[in-house]
A and B are shown apart, each in its own frame.
Chain A
Amino acid sequence: MASQFSEAPPSLRSGVVRPGFRVDPRLLWAIGIALLLLPLFTAESYRLFQLTLAAIYAIAILGLNLVTGYNGQISLGHGAFYAVGAYVAAIMLDKLSLPWWSTLPAAAVICGIVGWGIGRPALRLGGLYLALTTFSLAVAVPQILKYKGIEDWTGGVQGVLVTKPDAPFGLPLDVDQFLYLVTVGIALGVFVLARNLMASRIGRAMMAIRDHALAAEAMGMDIANLKTATFAVSAMITGLAGALSAIAVEFVSPDSFQATLSITLFVGMVVGGVASIIGPIFGGLFVVFVPNLAEEISKSAPGVIYGCILIAFLFVLPGGVAGLLRRLPALLRRR
């Protein structure tokens, strides 16, 4: 996965731009934001809920992509952080009656700490073994959530019910529209931050560690701390998505956080595009809308279709949708 390095820095790139291929970035931003706002007026509330969910998954997948795609630490257990975030939000809302917006930073911070705690021992493992260990975390999560000793807080098997917040200041929005706006706004913020992070010195160090740890260490990078910090930041972002999901779904229970959730996030990452910032957007849309589609192709085995799509992507489009988009101009020009 060395594709990121094919992009030359902007100063070089401007020299080889072909006429007619340059679009004012401000125009792109305007079009993008208009597209994001469009469903507010056109979509009915269930469709809006699905789009909210897609945005939440996009955030979660972005978190996974930072640690797995950019830093090369394969995690199959990010559903655990998603679950922790969701439970933190649900407990704060239901048991402590705190305002909804306070749950988001709290979930992020707690997940960051948990992520640090998992990222430390994870340093000992690379590649497949890390994947298996994090997968065992994903498998253990529902059992831990059902544990009797913490039932007063987590509600045990029954889970916790929460309600969506109303729009403040008398805004003319219903709960679904408001939540969509909040989610998309947060997603936008997180994506911009992640893009800036990956364009920074730290971001380049993260990729250098993935591509050649020895060389990175020789250049003076503190590999252990950087890898652990990446794990923590990644867990933070995914936990934030989990908190949003608890508010959007209005319910958390151990069975919503089975190991399949972690696998879903992984599939979304691969399909959207590994080590890509915009990839997780497509990943989020994929994991929300394609299972329904797969069910239409074959009623009896949507999971088989899902797995086949994943393998097909790895074989044909290893860069995912984002990789395809990146190559599209070149492919069109060749015609």
Chain B
Amino acid sequence: MATAEKETVIYAKINEEVIQSLERPTWRYWLLIGSLLGVIGLGALAYFYQVMVGMGVANINHPVGWGVYIVNFVFWVGIAHSGTLISAILYLFRVRWRTAIYRAAEAMTVFAVMTAGLFPLIHLGRVWVMYWLLPYPNTRHLWPNFKSPLVWDVVAVTTYFTVSFLFFYLGLIPDIAAVRDRSTGLRRQIYGALALGWQNRYEQWRHYARAYVALACLATPLVISVHSVVSWDFAMSILPGWHTTIFPPYFVAGAIHSGLAMVITLLVPIRVWLRLQRLVTLEHFENMAKMLIFTGLIMTYSYATEAFTSYYSGNHFETSFSTWRATGTYAPLFWGMVVCNCLAPMLLFWKRVRTSIPWLLAISIAINIGMWLERFVLIVTSTAHDFLPSSWGTYTPSPVEIIITIASFAWFAFLFLLFAKHLPAVAISEMKEQVAE
């Protein structure tokens, strides 16, 4: 941004640039929305088929009771993590480049949790009694078992969704007010209601600033706790490959790894589509690429530690399980995961690669695939290959499971598309603030 110009002139430009992206959508947008809705509808049909016919239509059975649904749950919760990292943790560290991208990352967080939250319900055999998970005085004389990691998970993911939504909305309030002040008619009424009467007054700003810092401080430990709790779903059991103390940090790092890759995957097309190239620049992508190198190295270290721990434990079940994971039925997935998560991000060490948008997009998609594979390998192999050779088995997802998985990506894309077209995708007031500094 040119510094010679007066700051308010730049303010007006930022305002204009972001708000122009909310103009009346073209037919391409409606076509995209329509086709995404079609895929979501297909997924809904598959799901209703499963509810009507029973869980048999999903291939989860003995010995693999946790299949693609749980894989998707862990994957989407993981995706959610980098949004809060970028919006809260980098905010507390005063990282300047976060400003242009944090709104999109936060929206991604909220929508990823909304996607993830569906999967435990899809995984339920009797979804109509899902309210049994809620803690309230009931006719069963039974409360959720608060000693169970699965109940921790419900508490953690619900909290995470609530807090990240509040944080997302709080950041949006001044920007929605800016949109309100530029629109007329029904649009003005809707944005006016959403802006909660925001007037940019000092009396509002001084409390707003405090609330924003408070929420950032609350979200920071939360983001670390949530994926730790998700990892305890596995680590609290006794299965080889699951029962290990490395899981919480390993899951958190993996979550941020996948989330950063997803931010890049989403921002590349969004910034072209909404013509935000002047606000979201190559520098932002490069910084995220550098973080990807960092998280990629943590992932590599975690994989190595996992293998080493199982070898060094001298426990026969652990060693034979690790060997099987790398050489058995799921070996291609295991090595695919290593290539996508550990080797692909290493290409970003070259500046030529990390400053090239096509390369970045390719690598971030590879990491997305790799992280999905990682969750699949983690979850499926341990149950498929436990202590008793007599109970070994394999698992491949059924068509119903595959359709629901694809539909979950469509659902996520649908929500994100709505966000990008109808809410300011770049934080207007914070961008201005950065100019002022």
Q: Do A and B come from one complex?
A: no
Question: Which A residues lie at the B interface, using CB under 8 A?
Answer: none
